[in-house]
Structures are given as C-alpha cells and as structure tokens.
Amino acid sequence: MPKIAIFTDTKTIDMYQFTKVKTGDLVDINDRYILSLDNHVSIMETLADFCKKKKITCGTISGLGAINCATFRFLDPATKQYVDKTFEEQMEITNLTGNISEKDGTPYLHVHITASRRDYTCIGGHLLDARINGACELLVEDFAMTFAGRQPDPETGLNLYKF
C-alpha cells in the first residue's frame, strides 16, 4: 500500500516551530509532530509546553541537536538518592529518546540523552534539562486516545507507568 504524508497544523510560535505529520493509511490515528526548537531555549521547558498545548497524555519523543549546557540525573538504586550533574560545554545530541505520560493532570516527560563532546567521547543520562546552542530537531508521536499515568513505586523510588 502506498504511504501518504500530509503536513498540517504548521505553526511558528514563541520558542519553536512545528508541523503535524500524518503518515500511513487511514486507520493510523497517531499524530506525529516534527519540532524545530529555537536556539538557546530549554529543551524540557519547551517540550512540556508543547505537550500541554497539544494535550498529549501518551507518546514518544526522539531527536538530535546541539547544546551547550545540560544537567543529567543519576539514581543510585542503593540509596534511592538522585545525583545531578551539570555540564557546561558544547555537545552534539547523538540521541535523545523519551516518553510522555501524565501525572497530577500535567504532562510527565521521561527523557534520556546521549551527547558527544569536542573530543568525540559521549556522556549521557536521565535528562533534567539542556539548553540548545545550534539546533534541536525532535519527533513527537502522540498515541492519540491513549492514556498513560504515573505512580510512585516505593521499591525503586521511581514514578512508574500506571495504565
């Protein structure tokens, strides 16, 4: 079956521009958006804003780009303590992957990132936030009409999926 791609709902607003992409056949109800974030904005703040505006309660995120400041989080399973570390240097996002759910009525983003440094080595982790310095191109897929919640899990100290 030939694939179709329809571009609709294209907007340029405050912190980013995006376009909705309809692909596949007519039974595919997922909405896909290509986002191009403005230079120097916060990735997480912008994504949260977008998901809220689009009322996305279940979906995935993938992307790439360039950043010059990023804070990663590491959860020590033994102590259940978070260890956060900020890196202030120019890096390429070699992979950004995440999911979207909902907690307490607002979009809940779980994002991990791998970024390469000037010497081509990589660092990464759970992404608390990062500032774009260059470009950031994301694909957001909204599993329309699906809901994924979050619930604290005492054993791991994490907010796990609650379907």
Would you say 34 or 158 has its CB closer to Fe ion?
Answer: 158
Would you say 74 or 147 has its CB closer to Fe ion?
Answer: 74
Q: Is 103 in the site for Fe ion (CB under 5 A)?
A: no
Least separation in angstroms between CB 126 and Fe ion: 3
Let me know: does 52 contact 135? Beta carbons within 8 Å: no
Q: Site residues for Fe ion, window 109-138 (CB under 5 A)?
A: 126
Let me know: does 3 contact 24? Beta carbons within 8 Å: yes
φ/ψ of 47, rounded to 5, equals -65, -40
Would you say 103 or 126 has its CB closer to Fe ion?
Answer: 126
Question: How many angstroms separate the CA atoms of 8 and 104, rounded?
Answer: 30
Residues that bind Fe ion (CB under 5 A): 126
